[in-house]
Amino acid sequence: MIANADFIQTMATTGNLALWTTIILLIIGLPIAYFLAYGDFKGKSAVEALICMPMVLPPTVLGFYILLAYSPQNSFGAMLEQYFDIRLAFSFTGVLIASVICSMPFMIQPLQNGLALLPSSYREASYTMGKSKTITFFKVLLPNIKGSIITAIAMTFAHCMGEFGIVLMVGGNMPGNTRVASIALYDEVQSLNYEAANQYALLMFVVSFIALTIIYSINKSRRI
């Protein structure tokens, strides 16, 4: 395998994007999963459907709408430019926000399922012992869904590593900034540079394989 500067730079961008997306989603995904698992509010099904949309919608569709939202010709993009002097289109931050939206179901679904599958008596027992909802969440619920948390992290990270459509739509293909491994792979194939293409493909294959092996070994150890 030949590791050149372009390859390292692209993999660093890809890893950075996957890492930050996973961290951000873990932070915002836990409270969202909690409210979806235990909350009973009007419009819950609509919220669940909205969060799951990226799983069924082509990433290019999602990317198209996000790109429109980022555009200074629209209110959100104009507001960002006017008040904060920020342009999200074709920037790493813009791609990161899009990636967070696109990967949301991969983080939230395992967490929500993990929480929903815990017996309600755990929560209720903790409350009757005088423990607050926050203490119950961190000391009783979270430690008992460790498997779901690791699954959510592995799924989100692996999915982000292979992000293509949404990154291309929102971020373009700017080396060192928004060029990720899957786009670089496509470029290399288009240039008939199969050796370089294989480097990207092999690394993404290995990362996905490791992530899935982690998930399956956790699920297996939980069954025993």
The footprint of another protein (CB under 8 A) covers 119, 121-122, 124-132, 139-140, 143-144
Kindly tell me which of 96 and 145 has the beta carbon lying closer to another protein.
145
Residues in the chain: 224
Kindly tell me which of 43 and 130 has the beta carbon lying closer to another protein.
130
Kindly tell me which of 73 and 128 has the beta carbon lying closer to another protein.
128
For the CB of residue 129, give the shortest distance to another protein in the complex, in Å: 5
Kindly tell me which of 73 and 134 has the beta carbon lying closer to another protein.
134
Burial of residue 88, with CB atoms counted within 10 A of its CB: 0-12 exposed, 13-18 middle, 19 or more buried: buried
For the CB of residue 112, give the shortest distance to another protein in the complex, in Å: 19
Contacts 24+ apart (CB under 8 A), 20-23: 20/96, 21/96, 21/99, 21/100, 21/103, 21/156, 21/157, 21/160, 22/103, 22/107, 22/153, 22/156, 22/157, 22/160
For the CB of residue 33, give the shortest distance to another protein in the complex, in Å: 18
For the CB of residue 214, give the shortest distance to another protein in the complex, in Å: 20
Kindly tell me which of 83 and 220 has the beta carbon lying closer to another protein.
220
* Crossing angle of helices 59-70 and 44-56, rounded to 10°: 110
Alpha carbons 146 and 190: distance in angstroms, whole number? 42
For the CB of residue 149, give the shortest distance to another protein in the complex, in Å: 12
Residue with tokens 């150890």: 221
For residue 219, the number of C-alpha atoms closer than 13 Å in the C-beta half-sphere is: 12
